[in-house]
Amino acid sequence: MADGWSSSKCKEGFVTTKAGRISLTAVGPARQSGDVVVVCEAGAGEPGTSWCAVARLLSSDVRVYYYHRAGLGRSDASSVVRTAENMAAELHDLLTAAHVPPPYILLAHSYGGLVVREFIAAAPPRDVVGLVLVDTNQESTFATQQLPFAAMQALLSGLDYSDAIGLWTEHEVTAEELERVKNNDLITSPAAPGEVAEFQSSAAALKSKSQLDQQALDPYPVTVIRGNCLRDFKRAQVVARSRGNGTPEQWEQWEAFISRFEKNDMALVASPLYFQVVLQLPLSNATCAKASAEDAVSFPRSLGWLRDLL
């Protein structure tokens, strides 16, 4: 594979696809025929470089790919509506154009969870042999959380959300990695509003596929990693109040949302399907690899169990 997307230890560049030139990064050992690779999917409006530290930690053991979706970071904008289904098709096109064949382990955050599950829906069996969902949204997010989007946008207006929740100061990434993420965040991303605008329709489209009832990934492992979103929301709330953002009505909607979220969060933790692992950072690569291997076999082996957990 002379283009280096499967052989070079570290390669960054552009791949020409139907959506335009897409920025792709590959790190890790040279791939042998049949080797599993990890493909990372970022959240709505987020650059692919948000995965750079995770890719570094994994790259001693497995080849990892992350990319900027069309219209984000340095990738060309696409004229295609930014639904999760369309973005999943663009991911497939990217991997095909870069000559990165399956099998894949998909690693997703936030809205990226909808994208990778649409990828699974369209992929032949055994193309995807593992799924890791990191605080991802899913088809019932809107029904469960009743997100007050308009109120949230007003209250958080003018805030650097990452700064408000402490992301720029409370992290374990290198200075170079942090700079990469910040620099890509500053690049104009015309697709970001379009992705957010299609959030609800994408959730509805995914729900119609009934993946949670069909054991969609069986017999391969699904791992769900939960962060502390409630803490982040409350931190952002403090900053928003200090700036005098929002109307009383918008704050009432926000408080109701926080109350629902906290109730659902506590119910999740109390579920017999949930267990918590407290990690002391920083971790060595060996510790991460060992934990990942043990977790992969201890979690249920299909998407069906999510129906009860969520």
Residues 122 and 88: beta-carbon distance below 8 Å: yes
Q: What is the pLDDT of residues 172-216, one digit of tens each?
A: 889 888 888 777 655 657 788 899 889 889 999 999 999 988 878
Integer-rounded Cα Rg, in Å, for the chain is 19
Residues 203 and 137: beta-carbon distance below 8 Å: yes
| Separation between Cα atoms, residue 248 and residue 254, nearest integer Å | 10
| Separation between Cα atoms, residue 69 and residue 119, nearest integer Å | 14
Q: What is the pLDDT of residues 100-138, one digit of tens each?
A: 999 999 999 999 999 999 999 999 989 999 999 998 988
| Separation between Cα atoms, residue 253 and residue 104, nearest integer Å | 41
Residue linked to tokens 């699904």: 222
| Separation between Cα atoms, residue 213 and residue 206, nearest integer Å | 12
Confidence of residue 287 (pLDDT cuts 50, 70, 90): very low
Q: What is the pLDDT of residues 236-276, one digit of tens each?
A: 999 999 999 999 999 999 999 999 989 888 877 777 666 55
The DSSP 8-state label assigned to residue 59 in this structure reads T
**CATH class of domain segment(s) 10-142+174-229+274-309:** alpha beta
Q: What is the pLDDT of residues 73-83, one digit of tens each?
A: 889 999 999 99
